[in-house]
């Protein structure tokens, strides 16, 4: 019988992914021993999916969950999913290299495929796009019933079709969209720039406004207006700079605001906004979007405000907190240069340096 | 941490002036062609001076640019608070258009290290260490320890005859025990490449203390073996990430110069008259 191994039991790996399975038993490897032990003791966990304004509940019971990778016999699996967070992809258990079947990186970064291939010295790694908002926690009432419960959207999982994916596994993944690399690239651009970019900006604005969950920020009309502005700027930039179908881009953009403000998701700002330096990296969801706008002649006023909000993110529990403290002592262009290798004469650095103070002022006024 | 603002100001000075011709205009110290002083050296010295005046007025500035023979080395041991600064280590490289130069500073209290900063503008990199918080770097340090790693040899412009012979002996040993000797006119960058793994060892002969000391706690925090000795106002040292070669080179150094001391950032530096 086919079987899957999920590496990383977080929002995507535990909360969303198993909804895509049908008669597909799975095990979970997660670095947190407490999580694995708790899943074993409780006989699984509940995931709640938001579908058309209602929450569906499903209890998932991984056959086995462990924080010790040596406990897993890789011969038992037909497919492996990696959902550990982009920064952890270079430090996967080396024994994973012995797995001969397809490994899908469903991180929010296609570079993770290269990173995993290089760090493990293997070639059987493919990209997947989980087009979904999956929370790492749940509503207070659902957490009271099951502290391991999670909320997720009814999303779509796109996986790169490859000859190494056996035909016997596909019937067990009926909701997965198996797509060509070209189609995946279109989905990825849309996901990165029309979803990830405004989503994280919504989180940074929500943080500035003192809220805990992303949906809470949307009760402020200024937040809604800025996020809408970002989406409009990016749709225009994508139309001008890619060959993607315009109807596809517009319909993708249309549903985004509704997704972000979904009150059933309870998506913590601390999850969506985490690691701002990764989000500000060249080519990524913020600086990559900025570069695309500037090169395609779009004036990114709202995106610039979003970047200013990202640069103001200072959550003491965040991995980048210490780095962000240096912004108090460095000029913006020097911060971008030393922390992100964005050189002062680049378009991105010049734009951010020039607009940062005004953007902050705009945000403070708007959020006051 | 007390040196955040100094770090920001130094980075800003490098950004604004580092590549200008004015910054590179030079003079020479002690009539030695190797002791180049640029406008940027003076500017960064002034930055440190101004920083102390505004933030740590009780702290003594000991900089390459204000050092006088009458200014005893032991001030770093005796003073409650001193800031040891090398404004531009590798000034001549700056003038020549080479990328190997950097700024180093350490806040020292009665011979023990409190904080160090190193700025390498052409590498877009800085290092910040403090006794309280340990090591901080803005991006991941890519460290690769190669079998073909080399040894960096730094020495004063005018060596004593004893050290002159020692230099030849070290060169000869290093050529047979490693992939060879490197030197490119900046201890700061040489020590940085000890961190990255390009150099397995760094050997310094009769250097000024500001040439190497600020880097010691940084290297120590990453597990380097460090041994040093002061002779009058000069420091000789060895920094290693390769234990066996460390022992061999240290043996050569100690045979010629006498005992070295193991560096420990929590312990007071030992001057030779205290050994």
Per-residue pLDDT in tens (0 to 9) along chain B, 275 residues: 899 999 999 999 999 986 666 666 666 665 555 567 888 999 999 999 999 999 999 999 999 877 765 556 788 889 999 999 999 999 989 988 899 999 999 999 999 999 999 999 999 999 999 999 999 999 998 888 877 889 999 998 888 888 888 999 999 888 888 888 999 999 999 999 999 999 999 999 999 999 999 999 999 999 999 999 998 889 999 999 988 889 999 999 999 999 999 999 889 999 876 65
What does the block give as tokens for A115?
């990173």
**Reduced 3-state DSSP string for B118-142:** EEEHHHCEEEEEECCCEEECCCCCC
Is A329 in Cβ contact with B7 (below 8 Å)?
yes
Per the CB < 8 A criterion, the answer to whether A242 and A189 are in contact is yes
Is A329 in Cβ contact with B8 (below 8 Å)?
yes
Please write the tens of the pLDDT for every residue from A104-139: 999 988 899 999 999 999 999 999 999 999 999 999
Interface test with B, best of A329, A340, A346, A350 (most B CBs within 10 A): A329
Per the CB < 8 A criterion, the answer to whether A131 and A155 are in contact is yes
From B117's Cα to the closest Cα of chain A, the distance in A is: 13
Is B5 in Cβ contact with A334 (below 8 Å)?
no
- Closest-CA residue to A289 (of A244, A360, A248, A241): A241
- Closest-CA residue to A336 (of A282, A273, A294): A282
What pLDDT tens digit does each residue of chain A (368 aa) get?
899 999 999 999 999 999 999 999 999 999 999 999 999 999 999 999 999 999 999 999 999 999 999 999 999 999 999 999 998 999 999 999 999 999 999 998 889 999 999 999 999 999 999 999 999 999 999 999 999 999 999 999 999 998 888 888 999 999 999 999 888 888 888 899 999 999 999 999 999 999 999 999 999 999 999 999 999 999 999 999 998 999 999 999 998 988 999 999 999 999 999 999 999 999 999 999 999 999 999 999 999 999 999 999 999 999 999 999 999 999 999 999 999 999 999 999 999 999 999 999 999 999 99
From B170's Cα to the closest Cα of chain A, the distance in A is: 36
- Its CATH architecture, for the domain A4-179, is 3-Layer(aba) Sandwich (3.40)
What does the block give as tokens for A97?
């290299």
Number of H helices, E strands in chain A: 15, 11
Tokens 């569906």 label which residue?
A56
Residue-level pLDDT at B35 = 67
Domains A4-179 and A185-367 share a fold: no
Beta strand B36-38 with B26-28: parallel, antiparallel or unpaired? antiparallel
Burial of A76 (0-12, 13-18, 19+ CB in 10 A): middle
Of A328, A333, A341, the CB nearest to B15: A333
Q: Where are the domains of chain B?
A: 4-136, 150-274
Q: Which fold has domain A185-367?
A: 1.10.1040
Residue-level pLDDT at B179 = 86
In this prediction the pTM is 0.89
- Residue B217: which H helix or E strand, with range? helix B216-221
Q: Look up the ipTM and state it.
A: 0.92
> DSSP per residue over A23-72, as a string?
S--EEEE-S-HHHHHHHHHHTSEEEEEEETTEEEEEEE--SEEES-GGG-
Write out chain A residues lying below 8 Å of B138, CB-based: 323, 326, 338-339
Residue-level pLDDT at A181 = 85
Q: Where are the domains of chain A?
A: 4-179, 185-367
Is B4 in Cβ contact with A334 (below 8 Å)?
no
Of B4, B5, B11, the CB nearest to A338: B11
- Residue A160: which H helix or E strand, with range? strand A156-160
Residue-level pLDDT at B29 = 61
Q: Hey, is A126 helix, strand or coil?
A: strand
Assigned CATH class of B150-274: alpha beta
- Closest-CA residue to B135 (of B63, B229, B224): B224
A326 lies within 8 A of chain B by CB: yes
Write out chain B residues lying below 8 Å of A331, CB-based: 8, 11-12, 15
Please give the CATH number for the structural domain made up of B4-136. 3.30.540.10
Please write the tens of the pLDDT for every residue from A322-341: 999 999 999 999 999 999 99
From B37's Cα to the closest Cα of chain A, the distance in A is: 25
Residue-level pLDDT at A165 = 87
Q: Go through chain A and tell me how many residues it has.
A: 368
Write out chain B residues lying below 8 Å of A337, CB-based: 15, 124
Tokens 């920083």 label which residue?
B51
Is A338 in Cβ contact with B126 (below 8 Å)?
yes
From B72's Cα to the closest Cα of chain A, the distance in A is: 33
> DSSP per residue over A276-327, as a string?
HHHHTSTTSTTHHHHHHHHHTT---HHHHHHHHHHHT---TTSTTHHHHHGG
Q: Hey, is B153 helix, strand or coil?
A: strand
Write out chain A residues lying below 8 Å of B124, CB-based: 337-338, 341, 343
Write out chain B residues lying below 8 Å of A338, CB-based: 11, 124-126, 138-139
């Amino acid at each position: 019988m086919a079987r899957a191994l999920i590496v990383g039991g977080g929002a995507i790996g535990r909360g969303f992914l198993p909804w895509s399975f049908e008669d597909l038993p799975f095990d979970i490897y997660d670095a947190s021993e407490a999580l694995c032990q708790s899943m074993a003791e409780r006989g699984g966990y509940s995931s709640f999916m938001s579908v058309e304004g209602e929450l569906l509940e499903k209890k998932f019971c991984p056959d086995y969950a462990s924080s010790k990778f040596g406990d897993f016999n890789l011969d038992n699996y037909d497919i492996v999913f990696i959902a550990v967070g982009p920064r952890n992809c270079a430090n996967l258990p080396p024994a994973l290299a012995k797995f001969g079947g397809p490994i899908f990186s469903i991180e929010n970064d296609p570079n993770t495929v290269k990173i995993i291939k290089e760090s493990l010295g293997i070639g059987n790694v493919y990209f997947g796009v989980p087009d979904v908002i999956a929370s790492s926690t749940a509503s207070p009432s659902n957490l009271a019933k099951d502290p391991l419960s999670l909320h997720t959207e009814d999303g779509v999982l796109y996986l790169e079709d490859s000859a190494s994916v056996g035909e016997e596994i596909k019937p067990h993944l009926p909701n997965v969209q198996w797509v060509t690399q070209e189609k995946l690239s279109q989905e990825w651009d849309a996901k990165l720039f029309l979803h990830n970019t405004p989503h994280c900006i919504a989180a940074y604005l929500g943080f500035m406004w003192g809220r805990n969950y992303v949906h809470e920020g949307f009760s402020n009309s200024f937040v809604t207006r800025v996020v809408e502005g970002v989406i409009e700027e990016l749709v225009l930039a994508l139309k001008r700079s890619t060959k993607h179908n315009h109807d596809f881009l517009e319909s993708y953009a249309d549903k985004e605001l509704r997704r972000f403000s979904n009150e059933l998701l309870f998506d913590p700002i601390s999850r969506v906004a985490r690691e701002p330096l990764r989000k500000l990296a060249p080519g990524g969801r913020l600086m990559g979007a900025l570069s695309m706008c500037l090169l395609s002649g779009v004036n990114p006023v709202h995106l610039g405000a979003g970047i200013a909000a990202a640069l103001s993110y200072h959550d003491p529990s965040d991995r980048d907190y210490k780095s962000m403290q240096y912004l108090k002592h460095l000029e913006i262009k020097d911060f971008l240069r030393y922390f992100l290798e964005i050189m002062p004469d680049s378009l991105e650095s010049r734009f951010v340096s020039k607009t940062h103070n005004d953007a902050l002022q705009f945000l403070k006024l708007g959020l006051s | 941490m007390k040196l955040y603002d100094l770090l920001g100001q130094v980075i800003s000075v490098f950004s604004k002036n580092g590549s200008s011709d004015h910054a590179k205009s030079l003079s020479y110290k002690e009539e030695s062609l190797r002791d180049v002083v640029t406008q940027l050296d003076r500017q960064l010295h002034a930055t440190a001076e101004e920083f102390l005046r505004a933030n740590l007025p009780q702290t003594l500035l000991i900089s390459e640019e204000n050092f006088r023979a009458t200014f005893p080395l032991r001030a770093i041991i005796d003073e409650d608070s001193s800031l040891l600064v090398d404004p531009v280590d590798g000034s001549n490289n700056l003038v020549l258009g080479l990328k190997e130069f950097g700024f180093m500073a350490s806040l020292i209290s009665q011979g023990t290290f409190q904080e160090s900063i190193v700025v390498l503008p052409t590498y877009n990199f800085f290092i910040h260490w403090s006794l309280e918080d340990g090591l901080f770097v803005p991006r991941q340090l890519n460290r690769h320890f190669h079998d073909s790693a080399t040894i960096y040899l730094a020495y004063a412009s005018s060596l004593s005859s004893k050290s002159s012979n020692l230099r030849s002996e070290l060169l000869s040993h290093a050529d047979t025990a490693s992939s060879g000797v490197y030197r490119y006119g900046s201890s700061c960058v040489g020590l940085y490449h000890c961190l990255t793994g390009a150099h397995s060892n760094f050997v310094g002969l009769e250097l000024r203390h500001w040439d190497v000391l600020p880097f010691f706690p940084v290297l120590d925090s990453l597990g380097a073996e460090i041994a040093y000795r002061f002779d009058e106002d000069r420091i000789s040292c060895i920094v290693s990430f390769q234990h066996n070669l460390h022992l061999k080179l240290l043996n050569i150094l100690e045979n010629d110069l006498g005992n070295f001391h193991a560096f420990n950032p929590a312990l007071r530096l030992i001057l030779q008259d205290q050994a």
